[in-house]
A = this chain, B = another copy of it.
Amino acid sequence: MERDIKDNFSVREKIYRAAVELFARKGYSGTTIRNIVQKAEVTQPMVYYYYGNKEQLFTSCIKELYNQLTTVYQKIDPELPFDILLKKMLISGKEKFADFPEGLFLMARFAYSPDEFPRMIDIIHVFSTPLDLLISAIQKAKNKGEIVDYVSPQLFSFALFGTLGFLATVHFMKDRFEIFKSMDIDVSIDEIVKLFAYGVLKK
């Protein structure tokens, strides 16, 4: 007798995963509790039992995801050569969310939607921790003389996060939108590192 893989998850986990996926796709307002419970195959009051209300469900998802990302980044040795460090960050982030890429997509989307969630201001700080980790790694590389000083660590990290967020989104859209079909995200980590580390103009 075949069983759905979902049967392995508790009610709480089912809600979490359905919520992350839907929030990532449709946004906070575009996702209804009914959407979530239908996808999760649970009853409506269970959402309120476990998460209180829609807002708290959303913040729980966001906090959980960003904490996971922060944990992964913190495991990387900040003294590594810069291009190695960069590559490690990309790879470890990718691996961590390999079995649940919706998490990455939601994080990306969250960063681009300043007022979609009514209480954004209460949770925006979770977003700054991984960003700060990257910024201080770049500052360190600058101090060690590894990288040029005409680019600020802040701009660099914003550019990297923007790029990754957009790539995640493109990947997410790939299946359904013809124009993104040709993009292959799987081989591009090396490309990203090269782009950001070495630039594109021939000297």
Contacts and interface: CB of A to CB of B under 8 A. Distances in A.
A195 interface: yes
Contact of A159 (B195, B197, B198): B195
Contacts of A28: 27, 30
A183 interface: yes
Contacts of A151: 191, 194-195, 200
A183 B158 CA distance: 10
A154 to B, nearest CB: 6
Interface string A5-49: 000000000000000000001111110000000000000000000
Contacts of A172: 114
A176 B165 CA distance: 22
B165 A83 contact: no
Given A26-B29, A29-B26, A113-B27, A182 B198 contact: no
A104 interface: no
Given A145-B202, A150-B191, A166 B176 contact: no
A148 interface: yes
Report how many copies the assembly holds.
4
Contacts of A176: 114, 121
Interface string A185-203: 0001001101111111111
Given A112-B166, A148-B200, A161-B166, 5 more contacts: A26-B29, A29-B29, A121-B177, A150-B194, A150-B198
29 contacts: A25-B114, A26-B29, A26-B115, A27-B28, A27-B29, A29-B29, A30-B30, A30-B115, A83-B201, A112-B112, A112-B169, A113-B113, A114-B169, A114-B172, A114-B176, A124-B173, A145-B202, A147-B201, A154-B182, A156-B195, A156-B200, A158-B163, A159-B166, A159-B196, A162-B163, A196-B200, A197-B201, A199-B199, A199-B200
